[in-house]
Amino acid sequence: MKIRTAVILFFIILPCSAHAISEADYASQYAARVRPLYESGTFGEFAGTDGLLIKYSAFEHDNETGALIILHGKSESYIKYAELVYDLQDTGLSCYLMDFRGFGFSERLLDDDSQKVYVDSFDDYVEDLQTFIDDIVMAKPHAKLFILAHSMGGCIAARYLEKNPDSLDAAILNSPMLQINTGSYPPSVAYAIASLATTLGMGAHYALGQGPRDDPYFFDATTTHSYARWSTWEEDLIPNNPVIRSGGATYSWVKRSMETGAFARREAARVATPVLLLQAEEDTFVRQEGQDSFCDRAQDCTPVFFYGSRHEILMETDAIRNPALNTIKSFLGKHLKAE
């Protein structure tokens, strides 16, 4: 087991990130500072596996220090990470973001309900990421190449790192979905149900307890304690961009996600890339045991535990989010200087 306590204490005493906006007067700061930066980005699309259209955005520096790929989580979109791009301006990194197939602005896989979270194979996500890196990110040379991935994106990034152990200079996995929380169902039972339903031709059906996205309301079991950041996503960005709305998972997606998480944990020793793995104490969406297993097996993985945080560490209150940003910037800074 890797030691993490000393790392936590060191980073928590760092000052707040220079570019971070505060929850105080958040809406007006977001409109005045984050939105203009987002609107100045470059937006495009490319053909992913089987020709599916994948949308992306890019925020490039003229005199960049390197490139950072940012990957979203389940039922999200790159637009949700505009604040993070703003926060990281002072690193000098050009930021490249993509919406995975079936999410955000990218093309959906099912015609009957665009909100269903469905995929034929998680390898399709990884192959789309490979195309994005090869054709879009590396269209121009970068001195350094990093990845920062949240939740589902973290699982996909882990599989990419296992298949391409020397392709990146460093990686940040934020609450990575290396083992989903199946709630009251033991993982073996949840997998058996999802597998049976998929075998019986119900893979594109919503899984038990899943369905279209409900009208938003802020409650104790949400992914963050920050109402300001939650509200911007749920009550501003989604309503004003209805195409990005995503709902619950299908049986096929649950089955594939559980299989891929297990495979990522087993193959973690292949990851030679230095990894910073951020963990949330109050995470009810993914299991910390899976993250610990991956980090213990990876060749160079540093776990950092955020007490009091829910699943979305980078959408949390300032008291949690600012130390997380400083942790990330310190890690990136170290690897930007490395030869």
> Domain locations in the chain?
5-337
What span, in angstroms and rounded, lies between the C-alpha atoms of 304 and 283?
14
In 3D, which of 144, 89, 67 has the Cα closest to residue 335?
144
Say what the pLDDT of residue 15 is: 46
Spatial separation of the C-alpha atoms in residues 176 and 325, rounded to whole Å? 16
DSSP summary character for residue 236: I
Task: Please count the other Cβ atoms lying within 10 Å of the Cβ belonging to residue 42.
Answer: 11
In DSSP terms, 304 is beta-bridged to 278
User: Which of 123, 115, 131 has the alpha carbon at shortest distance from 51?
Assistant: 131
CB atoms within 10 A of CB 27: 12
- In this prediction the pTM is 0.95
Q: How far apart are CA 229 and CA 29, in angstroms?
A: 12
Residues lower than pLDDT 50 in the chain = 5-15
Terminal CA-CA length for the chain: 29
Give me 298's structure tokens: 């990876």
Residue 93: other Cβ atoms inside 10 A: 26
**Which candidate, 278, 282, 296, 304, places its Cα nearest to that of 9?**
304
User: Could you give the 3-state DSSP secondary structure of residue 20?
Assistant: coil
DSSP code string of 170-213 = EEEEES--SSB--TTS-HHHHHHHHHHHIIIIITTSBPTT--SP
Note the pLDDT of residue 4: 52
pLDDT at position 50, please? 95
Distance CA 249, CA 237 (A): 21
Quick check: 325 and 14 in contact, CB under 8 A?
no
Give the three-state DSSP class for 300. Answer: coil
> Which value, to the nearest 10 degrees, does the dihedral of the CA atoms of residues 258, 260, 265, 270 take?
180
Residue pointed to by tokens 């790192």: 161
Task: Tell me what pLDDT residue 94 has.
Answer: 98
Q: What topology is assigned to 5-337 in CATH?
A: Rossmann fold (3.40.50)
Residue 244 burial by Cβ neighbours in a 10 Å radius (0-12, 13-18, 19+): buried
Token code pair at residue 92? 């000098």
CA dist list (Å): 211 to 121, 185, 281, 312: 21, 18, 27, 21
